[in-house]
C-alpha cells in the first residue's frame, strides 16, 4: 500500500480532525438555553466522526482497488486558477469590471483564441452589457472602483 494511493483518505482524515479540533474550541452554551437539545459543537463533531468512518471505508476500498494514476493537471488549468487570483487582486485594488475584462481577455488567449481583436471585443462588450443589464434592469449597485466611481459619480 503506497501513500500515493491513500492521499485522498489521508487528506480527508486531516480535514476531519481539524474540524473536530475547531468544533471543540466552540463555546459551551448554558444548559438552561440548550435544554434537552444538543450543544452547538455536537452536530459538527458527529458529522466529522461519520466522515472519518466513511474515510476508513474509502481507504479500504482504495487498498483493495487502488485508484488509477491521475493525469497531471494541465498548465492551462493552473493558469485559469491563477487568473482567478488575478481577478481577486484587480477587484480589490482597482475595479471589479476591470478585473472581469482583464481575466476574460487573458482567458480567451490562454484557451487558444488566436485573434487578439476578438478576445478584446468579447472582454469589453460582455461585461459592459452584463453591467447595464444588472444596473438598469435589476438595479444592482456594484462595488466602488475606478470605473464604477466614474459611472455612479
Partner 1 sequence: MLEAVTALGSVFFDPYLLFLIFATTIIGIVIGVLPGLGATTGAALLLPFTLTMEPVHAIAVLATIYVAATFAGSITAILINTPGTSAAAATTFDGFPLAQRGEAGRALGVAVMSSTFGGVASVIVLCFAAPLLARVAYEFRPPEYFALTIFGLSMLASISAGGAIKNLMGGVFGVWLSTIGAERVTAIERFMFGNYELYEGLGFVPVMIGLFAMSELLVQSKVANNAVEFVKMKAVQLPSREDYKKIWKTVLRSSGIGTFIGILPAEGATVASMIGYSEAKRWSKNKEEFGKGSIEGIAGAESANNAATGGAMVPTMVLGIPGSGTTAIILVGLMVHGLRPGPYLFTEQVNSVYQIFGSMLAANIMFLLMGLYAAKIFARISLVPINLLWPIVFALSVIGAYALNSSLLDVWIALIFGVIGFFARRFGFAVAPIAVGLILGKMVEVNLQNSLKMFNGEWWLIFTQPLAVFFLILAFLGLCGPQIFAMYKNSRKS
Binding site for partner 1 (CB under 8 A): 8, 12, 19, 22-23, 26-27, 29, 33-38, 40-41, 43-44, 47-48, 50-51, 54-55, 57-58, 61, 67, 70, 73-74, 76-77, 80-81, 84, 87-88, 91-92, 96, 100, 103-105, 107-108, 111-113, 118-119, 122-123, 126-127, 130-131, 133-134, 137-143
For partner 1, the closer of residues 1 and 136 by Cβ is 136
- Alpha carbons 142 and 136: distance in angstroms, whole number: 12
- What one-character-per-residue DSSP string does 91-135 give? HHHT-HHHHHHHHHHHHHHHTT---HHHHHHHHHHHHHHHHHIII
Closest distance between partner 1 and the C-beta of residue 81, in Å? 6
Q: Are 9 and 54 in contact (CB under 8 A)?
A: no
Amino acid at each position: 500500500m503506497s501513500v500515493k494511493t491513500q492521499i485522498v483518505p489521508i487528506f480527508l482524515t486531516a480535514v476531519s480532525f481539524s474540524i473536530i479540533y475547531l468544533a471543540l474550541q466552540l463555546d459551551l452554551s448554558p444548559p438552561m438555553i440548550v435544554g434537552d437539545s444538543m450543544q452547538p459543537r455536537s452536530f459538527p463533531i458527529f458529522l466529522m466522526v461519520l466522515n472519518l468512518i466513511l474515510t476508513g471505508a474509502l481507504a479500504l476500498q482504495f487498498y483493495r482497488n487502488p485508484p488509477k494514476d491521475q493525469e497531471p493537471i494541465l498548465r492551462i488549468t493552473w493558469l485559469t486558477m491563477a487568473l482567478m487570483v488575478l481577478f481577486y487582486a484587480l477587484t480589490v485594488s482597482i475595479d471589479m469590471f476591470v478585473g472581469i475584462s482583464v481575466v476574460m481577455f487573458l482567458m480567451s488567449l490562454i484557451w487558444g483564441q488566436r485573434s487578439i481583436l476578438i478576445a478584446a471585443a468579447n472582454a469589453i462588450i460582455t461585461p459592459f452589457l452584463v453591467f447595464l443589464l444588472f444596473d438598469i434592469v435589476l438595479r444592482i449597485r456594484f462595488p466602488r472602483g475606478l470605473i464604477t466611481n466614474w459611472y455612479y459619480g
